[in-house]
Structure 1
């Protein structure tokens, strides 16, 4: 387990401790600029959950992500929230004040000198200096803002939310609770990605785990007494979304007509009103600017981290690649053993020669031939949602090792990832079957957004169907088996509203799609990347075909075992 994963788990435990519930899925995690999980901020996250404020706060936080001042707005929000909750819980948790002071001292030490601070850093510096009762200089504007941010500990969650909105309206003219804010998942001008990622300033960053986690009622809902029209009914918004997705992930592989036909075939049932985007990451022909440019810049930083992580550990990974390649080559050699086959010509077999005269038998000769293993087509599908954000480098390295080893053994392999953006499931192909020398592109893997596992598996089945070559089909999915999407499951009844695509419903849908692939002859295996809580869901989706990689040293043994037995000659699907 690497340090990042250890700190992520430590953050989870801190959130659980604050919430008093070790079964919930944390809606946020705090990871400091030093990579450590600050116990104070994660405790505040847990206390917000204990108060039941997450559903109230989350739409506001999500709306900040697409704003040019989103990081500043988020900082102000968490500053007001942490003080409010600390004062609210200090009698029951007297250590909170000491934790707050310790954290304030650390935060101040990490800030640049006062003359070098930007607006957000200056406000944070004044705020934490107040927490420590230290002398400091505040402008009239800063004093008025921070005074307004000192919310009463008796306030409800809705009052805190309203206090933040009032402050942002007064000082930054940000509209209060606009119609677009209430559209929740249907927003176009907010950031579509609910991802773990650091803030753009140098202070501590609250990072998203897997979208808004378990928030409810943000999909369509009611505005006043009128039901909001579905997001996809507005062609302009669909075009905006298409442009946004292309700008962030790359141009579509399919022309509009073929894509529309694929969506008509695949986006049905529980996935009605969803959209699809297939891409190889090629730049869009349209200029990339605004939110798209910011997301692409963040993606590029992660790609550089993926490559740096592999370079740092390349000794260990090169050894694992050599072991896996050798194990696969041995498997192929075993399948190519020579075989004596009875024939009408070849070398005379003395033990059966008598049959020619006595019985008129013709196959009295033996012909030595080499058995060739059956053709195997392997697909690697990586969960590219925000729940994988804490292990992006590791997943990219594992996918690279598997693909490169299979390529060395001339086994066709394709590597893809999936995520969902405001109801549009994106399948990014890094390496196709016929591609040679493109394994490095796998390090472009980035985790962001949601994950509609059922639709992703259905779309992969469609992609597999485009390959008309004979042979076995093996789909290896690297996932934590936690379907969760902001696009709700549409209801077929007027009596029941739309349902969230998550939890039991999401798992059942993904299990149905995995079963449908198996019926088509595709062997589906999951390399599980989650924790113990998600393991039952993985087994429900993938059955017995669930394996875990405790470490890179187990990769060769695990993957070679998956390949063995699937290269048998003559047993083709």
Structure 2
């Protein structure tokens, strides 16, 4: 049977190449390789698979993670892949003689792709990595490396790792080379004069590479399925355009909708929202709002189907986790509700009502003349109904994978405690994938006329929470601010369940007129600053913002920078309702103080 277009998508074929070379189908490839025209690079994807096969993934992964915090992590990634290619070729070619022909073909393809680049393309990416890749390809084809610069020649020579090295030796050697040639420090985050100098010259150092190894962008809730490796792989199949671009494409939008559900807004509304919100630091990104309901068009890609199945399986795990200690969590809900009710009683506001005595109210005189109602005076009673709504925003990035069941349970406890008190509550999660920040709404505000003693089916959808992808916190705050506009309450409260670690694969674009001469990685200081900026905007819009953390102790400083003192850390679920109740009490005092 002829494969459908979705079955032969570039990213899926790249994954199959990697899994086949690795002889392991149980991992998500952290990198994939493509030529500039969007065709998967068969040889380099095989190299990625061989690296997984021959070297400890934990050590190699740690090395790439160390480099990711650097100013020039893309350059360092490129240099490391040049070195790793040499290692695995020496190891694998002894068992696989055909690898020599593939390597020769790849070198020839490098220069063929190079000839197709336009003048503008030549000025867009890293010239150092390009120069060393070109030198390697010339040598593979039996020519001189062509390197003239002595600094480049010595760097290139030291990157010729041999096949006898193990993973730890590769890690140590790489860090030593980067320290020697780039003054790189694995302690990360420390700016020095050399790095600042390169930062100013960055735009002059870049141009596109005929091929590039990039980080994977697929939604992988669980481990890959071995059945995906059954299709025959060839290098001359016609492929669609490269799926990763600076801006999300229509195909990416369909992929996102297939995995997460159709938009809750019309096409026109969605376009206007994105036009208004995806600006400045987020101009190359998009927002997708969904209730998790699949639309009529769902890609028949096995990776999409597997993602949906794994998401469903995680929902079952979340519900089982809650049911395993149902009585304990039910007591937590009631304890939280009592705390909130007590705070509302203590800090209740006087509510003006008509009365036959008290302070005269001239605008009510018409009642006596027209309705024969003598209650034209003001009396005050303590307000019994809440005058605020609450939004819960759950970080659903891959950094939360180990805590999914606990986060879903925390959110459910909070939502139910608030609903019992008659407080309108809306619960959403957020993650980023392929340039889209997906805001999944589990339950919306309800017109609460009386206290909800029984949970609604909508509230139970909170257990459909699952984690994957990245987290672009600043854009998520803009998105949830949009949803909060539907609240008619005077006071609005936003609670974020997070680890306070903004991190996305889409950069913050350069803006020279705003003091940003180069693009910045959306992580570290830049990510924290963007999140802080958006929190301040929410507060200026009279939205109280606070956070609940269950990450590491190191995250407390980042949380303090973003949320000030309005956050708490939760070590375990037993203390959750009490700590969360205290935080909500504090916000009630602010709103009514």
TM-score, structure 1 normalization: 0.60
Give the Å deviation of 1:76.
5.5
Once the two structures are superposed, residues 484-504 of structure 1 have per-residue CA deviations (whole angstroms, 9 ceiling, x without a partner) of 100111112499542211110
Cα distance, 1:239–1:445 mapped onto 2, change above 3 Å: same
1:405 is the counterpart of 2:435: no
1:184 maps to what in 2? 214
**Cα contact 1:194–1:450 (8 A) shared by 2:** no
Is this contact kept in 2: 1:372–1:569, CA < 8 A? Answer: no
The answer to which of 286-295 and 254-263 deviates more is: 286-295
Cα deviation 1:211-245 (Å, max 9, x = unaligned): xxxxxxxxxxxxxxxxx998256xxx711100100
Q: Report if aligned partners of 1:339, 1:368 keep a CA contact under 8 Å in 2.
A: yes
In 1, Cα distance between equivalents of 2:251 and 2:352: 65
Structure 2 vs 1, CA of residues 499 and 569 (structure 1 numbering), >3 Å: closer, same or farther?
Answer: closer
Deviation at 1:370, TM superposition (A): 3.9
Q: Secondary structure at the match of 2:445?
A: coil
Which residue is 1:305 aligned to?
A: 317
State the shift of 1:555 in Å: 2.1
Q: Match of 1:182, SS?
A: strand
User: Does 262-271 or 292-301 show the bigger shift?
Assistant: 292-301
Shift of 1:322: 2.1
For 1:58 and 1:523, the matched residues in 2 are separated by 38
Three-state SS of the structure 2 residue aligned to 1:184 is strand
Note the alpha carbon deviations across 1:443-491, whole angstroms, 9 max, x for none. Answer: 0000000000011111111221243x13210000000011110011111
Partners of 1:229 and 1:337 in 2: how far apart? 56
Tell whether the 8 Å contact from 2:220 to 2:307 is kept in structure 1 after alignment: no
Aligned residue for 1:253? Answer: 264
CA distance in 1, matches of 2:308, 2:244: 28
- What is the CA–CA distance in structure 1 between the aligned matches of 2:98 and 2:527, rounded to whole Å? 38
Higher alpha-carbon deviation: 158-167 or 472-481: 158-167
Given the alignment, which residue of 56, 61, 75 partners 1:82? 56
Query: Does the C-alpha gap of structure 1 residues 181 and 559 become closer, same or farther in structure 2, counting only changes over 3 Å?
Result: farther
Paired with 2:97 and 2:492, the residues of 1 have a C-alpha distance of 54
After superposition, where does 1:82-231 map in structure 2 within 5 Å?
Answer: 82=56, 156-160=83-87, 182=212, 184=214, 191-193=217-219, 197-198=222-223, 200=225, 231=245
Equivalent residue number for residue 539 of structure 1? 560
Deviations 1:145-172 (A, max 9, x none): xxxxxxxxxx94242466799879969x
How much does 1:331 deviate?
Answer: 3.1
| Residue 518 (structure 1) shift | 0.6
Q: SS at 1:527's partner residue?
A: strand
Partner of 2:381, secondary structure, is: strand
Aligned partners of 1:371 and 1:569 also within 8 Å? no
Asked if 1:527 corresponds to 2:524, the answer is: no
Give the conservation status (yes or no) of the 8 Å contact 2:424–2:445.
yes
- 2:463 maps to which residue? 443
Deviation at 1:334, TM superposition (A): 4.1
Q: Which residue of 1 aligns with 2:281?
A: 270
Note if contact 1:274-1:487 (Cα within 8 Å) is conserved in structure 2: yes
CA pair 163-438 structure 1, distance change in 2 beyond 3 A: farther
Structure 2 match to 1:16: none
| Aligned-residue RMSD, C-alpha | 4.4
Distance, in Å, in 1 between the alignment partners of 2:32 and 2:300 is 24
Q: For residue 387 of structure 1, report the CA deviation from its aligned partner.
A: 0.4
Matches within 5 A, 1:508-519: 508-519=529-540
Matches within 5 A, 1:340-419: 345=357, 367=379, 369-419=381-431
Distance 1:491 1:568, change over 3 A: closer
**8 Å Cα contact 2:47/2:85 also seen in 1:** no
Q: Is 2:253 the counterpart of 1:242?
A: yes
Q: After superposition, what is the alpha-carbon deviation per residue over 1:343-394, rounded to whole angstroms, capped at 9, x for unaligned?
A: 65279xxxxxxxxxxxxxx999995734235411100000010000110000
CA apart distance, 1:433: 0.8
Quick check: 560-569 or 514-523, which moved more? 560-569
What's the secondary structure of 2:554's corresponding residue?
helix
The gaps in structure 2 that reach 5 residues or longer are 1-28, 61-81, 114-208, 228-241, 360-373, 448-455
Kept in 2: contact 1:320–1:552 (CA 8 A): no
Go from structure 1 to structure 2 and tell me whether the alpha carbon gap of 1:423 and 1:84 turns closer, same or farther (over 3 Å shift).
closer
Query: What is the deviation of 1:530?
Result: 1.3
Judged with a 3 Å threshold, the aligned counterparts in structure 2 of structure 1 residues 399 and 61 are, in CA distance, closer, same or farther, namely farther
Residues 327, 556 of structure 1: 8 Å contact kept:
no
In the TM superposition, what is the alpha-carbon distance from 1:284 to its structure 2 partner?
1.9
Q: 2:443 aligns with which of 431, 439, 447?
A: 431
State the distance in 2 between where 1:367 and 1:292 align.
62
Partner of 2:370: none
Secondary structure of the residue aligned to 2:468 is coil
* Structure 2 residue 575 is matched with structure 1 residue 549: no
Deviation by residue 1:312-357 (Cα, 9 ceiling, x = unmatched): 122321221121122223334445699999965279xxxxxxxxxx
Return closer, same or farther for 1:258/1:372 CA change in 2, 3 Å cut-off: same
Q: TM-score, normalised by structure 2?
A: 0.58
Task: Provide closer, same or farther for how the CA distance between residues 304 and 540 of structure 1 changes in structure 2, counting only shifts above 3 A.
Answer: same
Asked whether the equivalents of residues 81 and 160 of structure 1 are also in contact (C-alpha less than 8 Å), the reply is no
* Contact in 2 for aligned 1:373/1:568 (Cα 8 Å): no
Shift of 1:304: 1.3
Task: Provide the aligned length of Structure 1 versus Structure 2.
Answer: 396
CA displacement at 1:542 relative to structure 2: 0.5
Q: Aligned residue for 2:189?
A: none
| Cα 1:72/1:285, change in 2 over 3 Å | farther
